[in-house]
Chains A and B, each alone.
Chain A
């Protein structure tokens, strides 16, 4: 980790608008975009902090992006932040989705619509994969933690093990590996 200049702290409005934007551009799911905006653009969180928050969001029940937004909101602005971030993140897309549902009921079978959706979906899949590669590169995990991450990737992505089993099954190994790494420091 390099010694960057101190990281900026968002105002409540800034956080509301930023999460609103994350929601509206969040193709392929929110997490890749939340990392991009919070870590790279705004620099409110480091890669490590973002990944830790998301990791906790994964083991709690509920949508992990929602859990992470509540924790990030609470971290900067307490209760108000914990309400503002998820409301902004869900509000915009919900309005958009209502419009899209109407549009789709009417035009879903039109070839042009299908083709554009297929192209965007293929690119979004690649974007999510690229984000995982980028996070791994920036976090530089030691071999044991890297192995736990690869197990999660293979179990959930290729073997299609149900996510609760992946999360709860691998957590003890991740924690043991982290204990070993942190104790050695």
Chain B
């Protein structure tokens, strides 16, 4: 990885990080602009494949930036991109956490926290829908998704069971 690419990763993902209200994936189009359009580091297809790989792997979705970094700078590129994307906002979140502790118990803080709960839950549902739109390429994956949703909703078994079942069904039929 050259010094030029290092700074391009730091400045590019650092800037994206600071505007990523709503989470890392909310700024995916902006990441596409940075790595495909501005710097020409990879093709559209490469971008989509890296994203799919990060989706299929465990871990925070935002780790996809690590794969973009890997593509241009190997291990160092992966670390650089990931830290650029996570460190600046981490300090903000920490500062906010301290502020929240100082204000804890205030009526208006409880109102704000309570009011954001349905948005948080709705957005989990939305990310499920978006994932499902990407994976439902036929009736079988759609059935796997639906069965998995009902299983996780209605039982207390670990979701690892449905993921294992998904892997086996994929291996056998897809």
Residues of A bordering B, CB below 8 Å = 23-33, 36, 40, 48, 51-52, 54-67, 70-71, 74-75, 79, 82, 86, 89-90, 92-94, 96-98, 100-101, 104, 108, 112, 114-137, 139, 141, 145-146, 148-153, 155-158, 160, 162-164, 166-168, 170-171, 173-179, 181-182
Interface check B1, CB cutoff 8 A: no
Taken together as a complex, chains A and B put the C-alpha atoms of A146 and B152 apart, in Å, by: 20
Question: A149 CB to closest chain B CB, in angstroms?
Answer: 3
* B147 to chain A: closest residue by CB: A126
Interface centre among B86, B107, B121, B130 (most CB of A within 10 A): B121
The residues of B with any CB-CB pair to A shorter than 8 Å are: 17-26, 29, 49, 52-63, 66-67, 70, 75, 78-79, 82, 85-86, 88-90, 92-94, 96-98, 100-101, 107, 110-132, 134-137, 141-142, 144-154, 156, 158-160, 162-163, 165-171, 173-174
Across the interface, B159 reaches (CB within 8 A) one of A36, A93, A104, A152, namely: A36
Q: List 20 additional contacts besides A75-B101, A133-B153, A152-B118; criterion CB under 8 Å.
A: A28-B127, A30-B60, A55-B117, A57-B93, A63-B61, A90-B60, A93-B59, A97-B67, A100-B53, A101-B67, A108-B53, A119-B141, A123-B167, A126-B145, A126-B148, A128-B127, A149-B118, A152-B122, A156-B123, A166-B123
Question: Is A141's CB under 8 angstroms from B150's CB?
Answer: no
A96 and B57 form a contact (CB under 8 A): yes
Instruction: Establish whether residues B59 and A97, one from each chain, have CB atoms under 8 Å apart when the complex forms.
Output: yes
Residues of chain B contacted by A182 (CB below 8 angstroms) = 107, 110-111, 114
* Bound Cα distance from A28 to B49, whole angstroms: 16
Q: Which of A29, A48, A104 contacts B61 (CB under 8 A)?
A: A29
19 sample A-B contacts, Cβ–Cβ < 8 Å, listed by A number:
A23-B59, A66-B24, A67-B93, A71-B97, A122-B166, A123-B162, A123-B163, A125-B134, A125-B135, A126-B151, A128-B128, A134-B153, A139-B117, A152-B119, A153-B123, A155-B126, A160-B130, A167-B119, A181-B114
Known A75-B97, A93-B60, A122-B141: A151·B111 in contact at CB below 8 Å: no
Cα(A121)–Cα(B167), bound, Å: 9
Separation of A60 and B43 alpha carbons in the complex (Å): 31
CB neighbours (8 Å) of A155 from chain B are 126
- Residue on B nearest A181 in the bound complex, by CB: B114
Contact check, B148 vs A29: say whether CB atoms are below 8 A apart.
no
Known: A31-B124, A127-B159, A166-B119. A62 touches B114 (CB 8 A): no
A56 touching B123 in the complex, CB below 8 Å, given contacts A96-B59, A126-B146: no
Rounded to whole angstroms, the CA-CA distance of A100 and B89 in the bound complex is 27
Specify which chain A residues have a CB less than 8 angstroms from the CB of B118 in the assembled complex: 141, 145-146, 148-149, 152, 174, 177
Please, how many angstroms separate the alpha-carbon atoms of A176 and B100 in the complex? 20
Other-chain residue from B20, B126, B135 in contact with A122 (beta carbon distance below 8 A):
B135
CB <8 Å contact, A101 and B96: no
